[in-house]
Structure 1
Amino acid sequence: MKALAAVALLAALTGCGSATATAPQPSPPATVPATAPSTPATEWKIDPSFNSLDLAWIELMIPMDEQLLQVLGMAEKQAADPALRAFATAVAGGHRDEVEKLKLNRTRSGMPVRNPHVGHDMAGMMTEPEIVALGKTSGPAFDQLFAKNLKEHLDESIVLAKGIGTNGKDAAVKHLAAEIRTSRAAQLKQLTALQT
Structure 2
Amino acid sequence: MSLNIFEIWDGIGRQTPFAVRRDHWGEEQHAVVERIECEKLPYGKAFGYPVVNGQNSDRFEYDEQWRNEKLIPCCGCYQWTFIEDAEINKDKKLSDQYRKRLNKALSIFSKLTFGKHKGYTVEQAFLQNNQYIEWALLNVEKFCLTKEAIHLLEGMVAGFKFPDQIKRINDQKLLLCLKE
TM-score (norm 2): 0.27
Larger helix proportion, structure 1 or 2?
Answer: 1
Q: TM-score, normalised by structure 1?
A: 0.25
Higher relative contact order (CA 8 A, sep 6+): 1
Greater share of residues in strand: 2
